[in-house]
A = this chain, B = another copy of it.
Amino acid sequence: MSQEPSWDLYRTFNAVLSEGSLSGAARALGLTQPSIARHIDALEEAVGAPLFLRTSRGLSPTDAALELRPFAELMASTSAALLRTAEGRSGEVDGTVRISASEVVGIIHLPAILTRLRQRYPRLTIELSLSNAVDDLLKRQADIAIRMVRPEQQTLIAKRVGSFPVGLHAHRDYLARRGTPKSMDDLKHHDIIGYDAETPAIRAFAERHPGLDRASFALRVDSNIAHLTAIRAGFGIGICQTIIADAEPDLQRVLPDAFHEDLETWVVMHEDLSGNTRCRAVFDALVTELTALVRR
């Protein structure tokens, strides 16, 4: 290769991959189709391999393209993170902070916290990315993450905020209808709301609680929010945070002694952002608020 290709080619490459056509990529990037075509031609020339099969209804990526995709995506998220960091460097807390959290934390706990945060910093914008992926920070897909596992990466700044207790819960209507189990064995005769996927975390959980295995579930769903909604609807007995259930009179704890878990919770930030006023303010606020929430 004579000269390193323009980094803009990678951006175009990303757009073509996600849009599936030159014209679509052109629309997404605000360019025109011939320009996109030239970019892809240039990139194929630079990497020395065809990246797409041209058909009359779009482009389909080759194996080579799929192999390069993660790199191009990392460049895209890094560029976005750079621009976020650069935003609003006025010494005040403004600009955008992107927070990654689990669905439950993002939907149940964060709204009130973010409301206070926004009132305190009226020029602050929050982006919320709700998923259980844990490597967002290193892929620069978020500035701050709230996690249920201890972060091991040395380049991350982490602060423990305590543990969210979780337990078995059911709606009072369900318990009135089906009775309240007195032991873990009784659960065999109940409708249990459980998980669908088999992640390492879930496998470890299943080993700790032999009664609650996949075969015994009457409803299998991965979304913890759907879990909670099913409990509220009186479908059966499921797991949710006690903090959530305590706030809803219709939800009752089941077998509090036989079943309890604690979700260690951490607020995590990349050390590159430790000097950033905005991220620091949000990080500190999240630590304070979540710590208070857990201790309540």
Q: For the complex, give the distance between the alpha carbons of A6 and B1 in Å.
A: 22
User: A67 at the A/B interface (Cβ < 8 Å)?
Assistant: yes
Give me 17 other A-B pairs in contact (C-beta within 8 A), A49-B86, A75-B82 excluded: A1-B83, A3-B30, A4-B11, A8-B8, A46-B83, A46-B86, A47-B83, A47-B86, A49-B89, A64-B89, A68-B86, A74-B74, A74-B78, A74-B140, A75-B79, A152-B153, A153-B153
From B68, B75, B135, B155, give the contact of A7 (CB < 8 A): B75
Copies in the complex: 2
Interface residues on A, range: 35 or more
Q: A49-B86, A89-B49 are in contact. Are A67 and B153 (CB under 8 A)?
A: no
Do A135 and B154 touch across chains, with their CB atoms under 8 A apart? yes
> Which B residues are in CB contact (< 8 Å) with A211?
none
Q: For the complex, give the distance between the alpha carbons of A49 and B89 in Å.
A: 8
Q: A7-B7, A10-B7, A152-B153 are in contact. Are A71 and B75 (CB under 8 A)?
A: no
> Which B residues are in CB contact (< 8 Å) with A272?
67, 70-71
For A272, the closest partner residue in chain B by CB is B70
User: A85 at the A/B interface (Cβ < 8 Å)?
Assistant: yes
Which A2-52 residues sit within 8 Å CB-CB of chain B? Answer: 3-4, 6-8, 10-11, 30, 46-49
Do B10 and A8 touch across chains, with their CB atoms under 8 A apart? no
